[in-house]
Structure 1
Amino acid sequence: MDEQLDKLDLRLLEELQKDGRLTNNELGERIALSPSQCSRRRTRLEAEGYIRSYQANLDRQKLGLDMLVVISVTLATHNRDNARRFSQLINGLPEVLEAYALTGEMDYHLKVATRGLAGLSHFVNDVLLPHESVQHVKTSIVLDTLKTFEGFPVPMSHVGMATA
């Protein structure tokens, strides 16, 4: 952390995470600060990288991306060049919503959104499997979503943080 976060900073982050479109006036009403103080704090939190970006949360199903899949991938060889090639592939695929390098049995888990089984088949058979870095792919279709990402937990008390 560049600068200690106080309780007002943390409340500001929590509120913006719920609704990034809040004006400084609205934000000030929610956390009991003046709009100018909210603006200064927001600008500082953006500059320090606590707030990375603002974006709209779209409805994947309304966009026709009705299939959500978790795909486990094992690389053909385990070396830096192969991992870099796989990373470049994944970063160029808009269907991949999230990708994680793992310890354990599989090398990567991908969260992928496609248009039905045909979209999934194309993604696996025509994109992933033919790639030189990939040895094995295992797909798991998501049947139901129990919880989606709604934001990071913002700690209201933390050792070493200044208080408001």
Structure 2
Amino acid sequence: MEEIARTDRRILELLRRDSRISNADLAREVGLSPSSCWRRVRALEEAGVIRGYGISIDEEKLGLAFKAVVHVHLTRHDPEQLAGFIRAVQTKDEVRECYATTGQADYHLVVQCRDLAAYNRFLEEFLFRLPAVASAQTNLVLRNIKTREIP
């Protein structure tokens, strides 16, 4: 599925906004019959374009008001230490996202927790104890400007 058709992009946009939309409502919004719409959604799922369905949670209402982007610098790129770092990061609930990037930092983590004290514990009891980590720079998230738009 190389080029995604305009109708499929619209389907994705509507499902991203509300993954619980009924097939009948989705079909009406994109101008297709319900059976044709269902087949297109199924094709997007089978092609791996739609990887799953989820919900959007107001994390502040759950008490997770502290959010930071952490730029992690590794000591060296030893394959074993790197694999250990990746495994460890994947186990931590506080780490919402992790990106390997080019540039000054090796990895960028989006970390979310209850407050500054919880974040400090995350750093001291977890991140700084990983052998691969040389240093980390924290940028606090002040407010969200944009999330999840279809290109």
Q: Same fold (TM over 0.5)?
A: yes
TM-score bucket of the superposed structures, by smaller chain: over 0.9
Distance in 2 between residues matched to 1:152 and 1:7, nearest whole Å: 12
For 2:87, what is the secondary structure of its paired residue? helix
Shift of 1:152: 2.3
6 and 138 in structure 1: CA distance in 2 versus 1, 3 angstrom threshold = closer
> Could you say which residue in structure 2 is the equivalent of 1:84?
83
Whole-angstrom distance in 1 between the partners of 2:4 and 2:115: 45
Give the 3-state SS of the residue equivalent to 1:74 in structure 2. Answer: strand
For the structure 1 residues 13 and 146, does the alpha-carbon distance in structure 2 shift closer, same or farther, using more than 3 Å as the test?
Answer: closer
Q: Which amino acid aligns with 1:121?
A: N
Return the alpha-carbon distance in structure 1 between the equivalents of residues 144 and 83 of structure 2.
31
Q: Is the 8 A contact 1:75 1:82 kept in 2?
A: no
SS at match of 1:129: helix
Deviations 1:92-120 (A, max 9, x none): 11111111112122111111001101110
Counterpart in the other structure of 1:156: none
Deviations 1:60-104 (A, max 9, x none): 100100100111111122122222111111111111111111212
RMSD, aligned α-carbons? 1.4
| 1:10 aligned partner, one-letter code | R
Flag structure 1 segments of 5+ consecutive residues without an equivalent: 154-164
Equivalent residue for 2:150, pick from 139, 149, 152: 152
Cα distance per residue 1:13-58 (max 9 Å; x no partner): 2211221111110001101111111111111110111101100010
| Residue type at the aligned position of 2:8 | D
- Distance in 2 (alpha carbons) for counterparts of 1:11 and 1:66: 33
Letter in 2 for 1:152: I
Distance 1:6 1:73 in 2: 39
Q: In structure 2, do the counterparts of structure 1 residues 104 and 5 end up closer, same or farther at CA, with 3 Å as the change threshold?
A: closer
In structure 2, do the counterparts of structure 1 residues 35 and 100 end up closer, same or farther at CA, with 3 Å as the change threshold?
Answer: same
Alignment of 1:32-111 (within 5 A): 32-111=31-110
Residue 26, structure 1, aligned to residue 25, structure 2: yes
Rate the CA distance shift 1:6–1:142 in 2: closer, same or farther, 3 A.
Answer: closer
**Which of structure 1's runs of 4+ aligned residues deviate more than 3 A?**
none
Amino acid at match of 2:127: L
Q: Distance in 2 between matches of 1:114 and 1:122?
A: 10
Distance 2:123 2:91 in 1: 15
Indicate how the Cα distance of structure 1 residues 5 and 152 shifts in structure 2: closer, same or farther if over 3 A, else same: closer
Structure number with the bigger relative contact order (C-alpha 8 A, sep ≥ 6) is 1
- Summarize the alignment of residues 117-128 of structure 1 with structure 2, pairs less than 5 Å apart: 117-128=116-127
Structure 2: gaps spanning 5 or more residues: none
